[in-house]
Amino acid sequence: MTAALSLSDVTLGYDGHPAVHHLTGRFEPGSLTAVCGPNGAGKSTLVKALAGVLKPIGGRIDRGGLLARDIGYLPQAAEIDRAFPIDVFDFVALGRIRRAGLFGRLGAADRKAAQEAISAVGLEGLERRQIGALSGGQTQRMMFARLMAQDSRVILLDEPFAAVDERTMGDLVGLIAQWHAQGRTLVAVLHDFALVRAYFPRTLLLARECIAWGPTDDALAASNLAKAQAMSEAFDDDAGDCERAA
């Protein structure tokens, strides 16, 4: 059974400054949900908290009995250190570390899973290429391959289609659909409303607080989008006031 992710009055932020306020709701087991909203709305902050990277300032996140290390998390590409000396195969194989033995050694099954994931995302032949030599699209494919190798029941994606071409985006959308068909719980931060409406049945519209959370057509109704935009302008004004005061 795929685990759910539940939030109870969760407030998130950095250095004591809230970025997401009093969020309560539930990502149902096996659901496919987009997290949308204006810039600065707290979308990436929420995904980091779900992944266990960021601790809540207040409230509680229930991961359905899963440990943070059991959740697949794809951060924004900018957070990957492309200068780190590691090749594609070893990067993808990191997804198997939680399955490794006492001394962290990968077995034959782990190496086979990593190779199959590399092939599945179209990077066969690039196994020994350094990650810093990859294009933006190849980097995203590699990160998806690591998720495949990890084989988690819950998968979190932060802007998974940033800086990729149309073909790569189509291939990655196909992988997400495949994971959804397998009954995994998926949450993705996205900006393209047309893409969200086409492929994501549920949406959380966020503007530092929940504007709407439910079926995508309802959540992205014009009235909700207008409210999110108004709240975005309000917190932009607040930030400007703080800067002027400083």
What pTM was computed for the model? 0.90
Q: Give the tokens for residue 107.
A: 């077995």
Burial 49-66 (b: 16+ CB within 10 A, else e): bbbbebebbebebebbeb
For residue 230, the tally of other CB atoms under 10 A from its CB is 12
Q: Which helix (H) or strand (E) holds 11?
A: strand 5-14
CA 149/CA 244 separation, integer angstroms:
49
Domain edges within the chain: 28-206
Q: Going residue by residue through the chain (246 aa), what tens digit of pLDDT does each one get?
A: 567 899 999 999 998 788 999 999 999 999 999 999 999 899 999 999 999 999 999 999 999 888 877 899 999 887 888 889 999 999 999 999 866 644 567 889 999 999 999 999 999 999 999 999 999 999 999 999 999 999 999 999 999 998 889 999 999 999 999 999 999 999 999 999 999 999 999 999 999 999 999 999 999 999 999 999 998 887 665 544 333 333
**Which CATH number does 28-206 carry?**
3.40.50.300
